[in-house]
A and B are shown apart, each in its own frame.
Chain A
Amino acid sequence: MLAYITKRLGLAVLVALTVSILAFMLLYLSGDPALAIAGEGARQVDIDMVRKTYGFDQPIIVQFGNWLFKIIQGDLGQSIYFKTEVGKLIFTKLETTLLLALYSLAFALIISVPLGVLAAIYKNSWIDRLCLAVAVVGQAMPNFFFALILIMLFSITWRILPVSGSDTWEHFVMPSIALGYYAAPAFMRLIRAGMIEVLSADYIRTARAKGLPTRSVIFKHALRNAIVPVVALAAVQLGFLLGGSIVIETIFALDGLGYLAYQSIIQKDFPVTQVIVLLLSVIYILLTLASDIANAWLDPRIRVA
């Protein structure tokens, strides 16, 4: 077990390092970052000043080394547009985005668990097909379109939820639904497949033969086993939800990391963009690391392989 954890941890560190290089290099995609930041039609004097302020005149390896070294020390740099420390800026927004991701995940599970279980119990019936249809339609709907429909219904027609902002729990309702429903179909398919497999297992037949009520068989015995792979998927999906929050937060002007990322990209505030890319990647790496270790702990076969 210890050997597996060490190996997996080493991989995570290596991936994080590669991501940090890529996040840093993002700025160089345009050729000359000084030109990109100064903007079109900037005078040569301005471009030179930008180059000097940002240290673009130094060799790229030195720039990267300085950047990474500072980040590891906890200095995330200065925002150009917001004129504050990137670290302060990000950590005030991180809470909003984490809340949004968690609410979305909760919403996805609330709709996918019952539907997945129903589909498995009534396998190949019209109920199963209806659940599948919900999943297929859910996956087809662009989330920003769905978000606008929600605004139209809940804010404009019925006037029960606020359109934008992030002050109260009510501001989180529509964003969580809009973001969460997209993650639901994957959970539903996994739970359905897991339940079908588990329901045909011997111990379920034994439980039934003992005369246990169906409800207890399904929820106490079957679901508990079918839910194990869902935990692993939840970790991965949480990472995707954090990344996907950029569109939803922008629509609802929810003041989180995604909205900040969008603003920083529009304003060419690259110190902020780079750190957000790095931060979201590191969160994803940590989530998958935790889920892999949890799985290895639950299932000894993974450790050996």
Chain B
Amino acid sequence: MKKNTALYVGCSLLIFIVFCAIFAPWLSPYDPYVQDLTNRTVPPVWYEKGSWAHPLGTDQLGRDYLSRLIYGARISLLIGLSVAVISGFIGTTMGMLAGYFGGRIDMFVSFMVTTRLSMPVILVALATVALVGGSLWVVIMVLGLLKWDRFAVVMRSATQQVRAMEYVSAAQSAGASTLRIMLTEVLPNVLPHLIVIATLEAASAILLEAALSFLGLGVQPPLPSWGLMISEAKSYMFFSFWLIAIPGSALALLIFSINLAGDGLHQLLTPGERA
């Protein structure tokens, strides 16, 4: 068997970030919300004026940047996971129903997917958050309710393939209920596809949250969302570019590791197809 470098590297990075997020209270040197106005925009340690007291410096309100970065991982991971679960549940239900029953249900689901795809996600999400008011849970709900399209498309075709298998007919003739067949015969066999899509959608949800927060219509201050940190540091970018570069790189690293893990899982779980 070929070595799966993508899976190995992606998962290692991801586990590292998850570890940081879980143990944030023990790992961060300071409280991420405590301001120290006498110690504003202290540069990171690798700058001449930096010191080990604040390894990644402090932000425009004197809050320790490393602590905010570590707590920020919690927000991104929470968004990715929750959105993948909500949209995964909606999309998988729709896709499996369409793929299993076909006919009118299939037509209806395909219509829903086409409609959803034609609406620009970020615009609808922004407008909704502006109306309902921005908060972590609003962002999770809005993205969860918007991002089920890929789940539905992939689950639909995967279910269609599984439905034609003999073990499904066998279960049917044995008198198993439709719900039982769906849950015990179909679902385990489409699960590999589901996991791969879930990783990709989690990554895309994290990017969307960052973009929404960056535009000021996502997670609200003083929460240390990475997108929000970039947004708040925007007016300082001319003199303190690291205020943007640090959360930006963290975001890129997280997405990179999730995508890599997703590619690796794809190779591992669905051999024969290439990403």
**A interface residues, Cβ below 8 angstroms from B:** 11, 14-16, 18-19, 22-23, 26-27, 29-30, 36, 136-137, 139-145, 148-149, 151-152, 156, 189, 193, 239-240, 242-244, 246-247, 250, 261-262, 265-266, 268, 273, 276-277, 280-281, 284-285, 288
User: 6 closest pairs, A vs B, by CB?
Assistant: A243-B120, A145-B248, A140-B256, A140-B255, A30-B131, A281-B118
Query: Contact flags (1/0) for B225-246 with A, using CB distance below 8 Å?
Result: 0010010001001100100110
Cβ contact of B237, chosen from A15, A36, A148, A242, cutoff 8 A: A148
In angstroms, Cα B132 to Cα A29, docked, is 7
Give the residue name and chain of the B residue nearest to A129 (CB): B5
A-B CB contact pairs (8 Å), 22 listed? A11-B114, A19-B115, A19-B119, A30-B131, A136-B256, A136-B260, A140-B256, A142-B251, A144-B210, A144-B227, A145-B230, A145-B244, A145-B248, A156-B238, A243-B120, A261-B126, A265-B126, A268-B130, A276-B123, A277-B124, A277-B127, A281-B120
Query: Within residues 163 to 220 of chain B, which ones have a CB less than 8 A from any CB in chain A?
Result: 203, 207, 210-211, 214-217
Cβ contact of A280, chosen from B123, B132, B255, cutoff 8 A: B123
Q: Which residues of A have CB within 8 Å of B234?
A: 148
User: A142, B210: Cβ atoms under 8 Å?
Assistant: yes
B122 within 8 A of A: yes
Cβ contact of A26, chosen from B124, B237, B252, cutoff 8 A: B124
CB distance from A33 to the nearest CB of B (A): 8
Query: Within residues 110 to 146 of chain B, which ones have a CB less than 8 A from any CB in chain A?
Result: 111, 114-115, 117-124, 126-128, 130-132
User: A281, B119: Cβ atoms under 8 Å?
Assistant: yes
User: B111, A11: Cβ atoms under 8 Å?
Assistant: yes
In angstroms, Cα B222 to Cα A246, docked, is 25
Given A141-B252, A247-B215, A27–B131 Cβ distance below 8 Å? yes
Cβ contact of B111, chosen from A14, A242, A261, cutoff 8 A: A14
Q: Which residues of B have CB within 8 Å of A145?
A: 230, 244, 248, 251-252
User: B120, A242: Cβ atoms under 8 Å?
Assistant: yes
In angstroms, Cα B126 to Cα A276, docked, is 13
Knowing that A26-B124, A136-B263, A280-B123 touch, tell me 5 more A-B residue pairs with CB under 8 angstroms.
A29-B131, A30-B132, A142-B251, A239-B118, A246-B122
CB distance from B130 to the nearest CB of A (A): 5
Q: Which residues of A have CB within 8 Å of B211?
A: 142-144, 247
Given A136-B259, A144-B230, A244–B122 Cβ distance below 8 Å? yes
CB distance from B215 to the nearest CB of A (A): 6
User: A140, B259: Cβ atoms under 8 Å?
Assistant: yes
In angstroms, Cα B117 to Cα A15, docked, is 10
User: A142, B255: Cβ atoms under 8 Å?
Assistant: yes
In angstroms, Cα B126 to Cα A261, docked, is 9
B1 within 8 A of A: no
Given A142-B255, A148-B248, A243-B121, A26–B115 Cβ distance below 8 Å? no
Q: Which residues of B have CB within 8 Å of A140?
A: 203, 252-253, 255-256, 259
Give the residue name and chain of the B residue nearest to A28 (CB): B131
In angstroms, Cα B217 to Cα A145, docked, is 17
User: B128, A29: Cβ atoms under 8 Å?
Assistant: yes
B104 within 8 A of A: no
Give the residue name and chain of the A residue nearest to B249 (CB): A145
User: A26, B128: Cβ atoms under 8 Å?
Assistant: yes
CB distance from A229 to the nearest CB of B (A): 15
Given A29-B131, A268-B130, A22–B119 Cβ distance below 8 Å? yes
B34 within 8 A of A: no
In angstroms, Cα B215 to Cα A18, docked, is 28
Q: Which residues of A have CB within 8 Å of B124?
A: 26, 277
Q: Which residues of B have CB within 8 Å of A22?
A: 115, 119
In angstroms, Cα B121 to Cα A36, docked, is 22
User: B252, A277: Cβ atoms under 8 Å?
Assistant: no
Residue from B120, B128, B245 whose CB has the most chain A CB atoms within 10 Å = B120
User: B274, A280: Cβ atoms under 8 Å?
Assistant: no
Q: Which residues of B have CB within 8 Å of A36?
A: 131
Q: Which residues of B have CB within 8 Å of A284?
A: 117-118, 120
User: B123, A15: Cβ atoms under 8 Å?
Assistant: no
User: A262, B120: Cβ atoms under 8 Å?
Assistant: no
In angstroms, Cα B203 to Cα A218, docked, is 35
Q: Which residues of A have CB within 8 Å of B111?
A: 11, 14-15, 18
User: A280, B256: Cβ atoms under 8 Å?
Assistant: no
User: A15, B263: Cβ atoms under 8 Å?
Assistant: no
User: B119, A144: Cβ atoms under 8 Å?
Assistant: no
In angstroms, Cα B128 to Cα A148, docked, is 26
Q: Which residues of A have CB within 8 Å of B114?
A: 11, 15
